[in-house]
Amino acid sequence: MVEPEEKATIRFQSFAEAISSLEKLTKIESKIAVAIENSRVPWKESRKLLKCMNSGQVSNTTLFQFMRELFFQVGLGKLEIFDVGRFQLTFQIKECEIIKLYPSTEKGKICFVTSDAILKFFVKDLDLPCTVEETKCIVDGNDCCEFKVELQPLGVYKIALDDLDSALIEELMNSKFDMKKFAEENFLEEGEVEYRLDVLKSYQIIDSDSHLTEIGSTYKKFAQGLRTLEEDFDPPWKSLAEITSAIAAKNSFAEAMRETLNPEPFIKVDTSEIVDLMDEARKSKSFAELISKYVKHTE
C-alpha cells in the first residue's frame, strides 16, 4: 500500500478516549476480516467491472453494489465510485465513519483502515493485485475521503477479457473484419461488438485502427493458458444474508468478550491531558498497533 504524503498527528484528549477508539476500531477490523474471508468473487463478475469505461457503468455493476453494501455493513461508511481510468479506480466516502474514531485529530490522512480494507478486497476477493492510497481526507478539510486504486496491468489482463474477446482478436487478425457477420455468428448485437472493440482499445490490445498491438500479440499468445485458470462458482452476493449474519456474530462475540474481560468501568481521566502519538504513528502499521504501544507505555 502506498503511504500518504502527509501523516496525521494522532491526538486524544484522554486515555479513556484512546481506549474507546481502540474498542470501536477493533470491532470494525474484526468485521472487515469476516467480510473479506467470505466474499471471494468469480472472474466473470470482476470482468464486468474491469470492462467499465466510466463511473456510471461501475455503479451499475452488481459487484460494486455488493462492495458498497459490504463496506457499509462493516462500518466504513457509504462507498461511491468517483473516477475510472486505465488500470485505475477512485473511490470516495463522504460520510466517513473512521474519522469519528479520531475526534481530536486536526490534520492529515488517517483512514488507513479503509485503504487496507479496499486493498484486501481487491487482492483477496477479486484476485487483482493493486496498491491503494488515500488521496484526500475529511480531516484535511476536504468534503470526502478519497482512495485511489492502482491495478497491476498483468492482473487485469489475466481477468478482463473472455473467450469472445479472444475470438474477436483472432477475427481482426485473420481477415477483413466484418462486424455484422461476427455479431451474427456469435449471437451478439452489433453494439456489444463495438463496445468490446472499445475495451480492447482502452487496454491497448488493438490500436485506433483495430490492428493488434505488441501488448495484444503477447496477450494472444498466453490468453488460452489464462482461461484454464478460471474457476466458476457463485458470487458472494447470492449468500449476502449469510455474510451479514457472520459479521453480526463476530461483532456480538467481540462485544461479549469485552464485557467478560473488562467489566470495570473506565477510570475518569483529566480531560485536559493531551496525548500526542505522532512519532509512534509513523512507525505503526495500524491504529490498533499504535494504541497498543501507548497502552503499554502508560502501564
Q: Give the model's pLDDT for residue 257.
A: 42
For residue 123, what is the DSSP state?
I
Residues 6 or more apart in contact with residue 187 via CB below 8 angstroms: none
Residues 6 or more apart in contact with residue 25 via CB below 8 angstroms: 101, 113, 287, 288, 291
Q: Give the model's pLDDT for residue 285.
A: 52
Beta-carbon count within 10 A of 24 CB: 16
The grid cell for 25 is 476500531
**Three-state DSSP class for residue 48:** helix
**Three-state DSSP class for residue 148:** strand
pLDDT beyond 80 at 271: no
The three-state DSSP-derived secondary structure of 54-102 is CHHHHHCCHHHHHHHHHHHHHCCCCEEEEEEECCEEEEEECCCCHHHHC
* Angle ∠(127,128,133) on CA atoms, nearest 5: 135
Question: Using an 8 Å Cβ cutoff, are 11 and 104 in contact?
Answer: yes
**Three-state DSSP class for residue 244:** helix
For residues 227 and 246, give the distance between their C-alpha atoms in angstroms, rounded to a whole number. 33
The grid cell for 48 is 464486468
pLDDT beyond 90 at 221: no
Give residue 261's pLDDT band: very low, low, confident or very high (50, 70, 90).
very low
Q: Give the model's pLDDT for residue 100.
A: 83
Q: Give the model's pLDDT for residue 42.
A: 96
The grid cell for 21 is 477508539
Q: What is the tens place of the pLDDT at every residue in 132-180?
A: 999 999 988 899 999 999 999 989 998 999 989 999 999 998 778 899 9
pTM for the model? 0.78
Q: Which residues pair with 151 in a beta bridge?
A: 130
Q: What is the tens place of the pLDDT at every residue in 79-131?
A: 999 999 989 999 999 999 888 887 666 677 889 899 999 999 999 999 999 99
For residues 192 and 22, give the distance between their C-alpha atoms in angstroms, rounded to a whole number. 50
Q: Of 153, 183, 170, 181, which Cα lies nearest the Cα of 224?
A: 170
Residues 6 or more apart in contact with residue 154 via CB below 8 angstroms: 129
> What are the angstrom distances between the C-alpha of 245 and each of 152, 172, 234, 276?
33, 49, 18, 38
Residues 6 or more apart in contact with residue 202 via CB below 8 angstroms: 53, 86
Which of 295 and 174 is assigned the larger pLDDT?
174
**Three-state DSSP class for residue 136:** strand
Residue type, 173: M
